[in-house]
Chains A and B, each alone.
Chain A
Amino acid sequence: MTETLSYARAAEIIAAYGGDPARWPDDERAQALAAVLMNPELRTAQLAAAELDADVTAWSQTPVAPGNAIAAATAAMRVPRNYLRWASGTGLAAAIAASLIVLAPVHRTGPVAPVAVAARIVVSDESTAFTQVFTPTPDEEQVL
């Protein structure tokens, strides 16, 4: 035997989904139908909803004068494919970060180790040589 929904839930379904049971939620359809059969008010609501369905469906599906799809496609392709990526927040952030990297040496204010210091670095073994040569200064760390 099919268990019926509450009157309120069946009314909610009709109000939102309309009068066609085929559009009702799959898991509640049978119960809602049983509720409608048992309650004349719900049956009246379903019939009124079906009338409105016809109006909104006709409104939604009324054909519109066709546009020019080829012209629209051509116009869309005039925009560079990476344009929106650069216009987006991520793109702007990346652009700002890149400009900082380029401009940062110009505005450097702190002391910078002279080249002669680097020349005096003694490389103890091969495993640490890379880190010694490429250890950034505090200014460079800020930039990186």
Chain B
Amino acid sequence: MLHTVETPATLIVRVAAGDARAFTTLVGQLHGSGLRIATRVAGDRAEAEDALQGALTRLWTEAGRFDPTKGSVGGWFRRIVVNQCLDRRRRLKLVAPIEAAANVASDLPDPFASASANARARRVDAAMAMLGPRQRAAITLFHGEGASMAEVAAALDTTPKAVEGLLARARSELSRLLASDRPETRDE
């Protein structure tokens, strides 16, 4: 029996025509990475879920606007997710203190696994919370999703050169925060 491969590129065409089953399949393919990106950029699970829901609504209502000549469905969806996160941050003007970020519960399934790795991860998490959402988005897309500089630029509606500067400042700030937060430099 011949099975047709349901790639995002073929599914989006059917979604644009109003195919609910194709949409559910497409969401199944994009939901995991979308939630991961939204969680990293928003820095808050509930906020990330709201942003992702907004992105999925746009995917459903505006599938007809997808232009395959401008990139992949995944790239287009990443852009929608990031924009939803940034828009929500602009509206809410959330500020997360580093102390609060250190107390955020881990998303890892097993909280007792790899204790030292988790400690390091929590410090990185706390430092990340100090960065701006656009800086977190650039790091998430470039390092986490393996996106090219051009793809990150497209997601952030800017130029690759501007993303270079954004990433350089983010990494520099992150290095400074992690260095100042090293256990050996603490008083305790």
A residues in contact with B167, CB < 8 Å:
16-17
Contact yes or no, A72 B53, CB < 8 A:
yes
Determine whether the beta carbon of B23 is less than 8 Å from that of A77. yes
Q: Is the CB of B62 within 8 A of A64?
A: no
Residue A76 lies at the interface, judged by CB distance under 8 Å to chain B: yes
The SS class assigned to the B binding surface is helix
Contact among B39, B60, B128 for A81, CB-based, below 8 A: B60
Query: How many Å from the CB of B49 to the closest CB on chain A?
Result: 6
**CB < 8 Å neighbour of B53 from A16, A18, A56, A75:** A75
B61:A82 contact, CB within 8 angstroms: yes
Residues of B within 8 A of A12 (CB): 164, 168
Q: Are A16 and B164 in contact (CB under 8 A)?
A: yes
A56 to B121, CA, bound (A): 9
State whether A65 touches B18 (Cβ < 8 A).
no
Given the interface pairs A66-B32, A67-B35, A67-B49, the reply to whether A15 lies near B171 with Cβ below 8 Å is yes
Q: How far is the CA of A79 from the CA of B23 in the complex (A)?
A: 13
Which B residues are CB-close (under 8 A) to A15?
168, 171-172
Number of A-B contacts (CB under 8 A): 125
Bound together, the chains give a CA A18 to CA B171 distance in angstroms of 9
- In Å, the complex CA distance between A82 and B60 comes to 10
Of the candidates B59, B107, B117, B171, the one whose C-beta lies within 8 Å of that of A65 is B107
- Interface status of B73 (Cβ within 8 A of chain A): no
- Pick the contact of B57 from A52, A56, A76 — CB < 8 Å? A76
A58 at interface, CB cutoff 8 A: yes
Asked whether any CB of chain B lies closer than 8 Å to the CB of A102, the reply is no
Interface residues on B, range: 35 or more
With A60-B143, A66-B32, A69-B31 known to touch, is A76 a contact of B40 (CB < 8 Å)?
A: no
* Alpha-carbon gap, A42 to B177, bound state (A): 22
State in angstroms the CA–CA spacing of A25 and B60 once bound together. Answer: 35
Q: Would you give the 0/1 interface string for B91-110, flagging 1 where the beta carbon is closer than 8 Å to chain A?
A: 00000000000000001110
Task: Please list the 10 inter-chain residue pairs (A to B) with the smallest Cβ-Cβ separation, ordered nearest first.
Answer: A60-B144, A69-B31, A73-B27, A76-B56, A15-B168, A16-B168, A16-B164, A73-B24, A64-B107, A76-B57
Beyond known contacts A53-B143, A64-B36: 13 more, CB 8 A cutoff: A15-B168, A16-B164, A49-B171, A52-B171, A57-B143, A60-B40, A63-B109, A64-B107, A69-B31, A70-B28, A72-B27, A76-B56, A84-B57
> 19 interchain pairs (CB within 8 A)?
A12-B168, A15-B168, A16-B168, A25-B149, A56-B124, A56-B139, A56-B171, A59-B121, A59-B144, A60-B143, A65-B109, A66-B32, A69-B28, A69-B32, A70-B24, A75-B57, A76-B27, A79-B60, A84-B57
Partner-A contacts on B (CB < 8 A): 18, 20, 23-24, 27-28, 31-32, 35-36, 39-40, 45, 48-49, 52-53, 56-62, 107-109, 117, 120-121, 124-125, 128, 139-140, 142-145, 149, 163-165, 167-168, 171-172, 174-175, 178
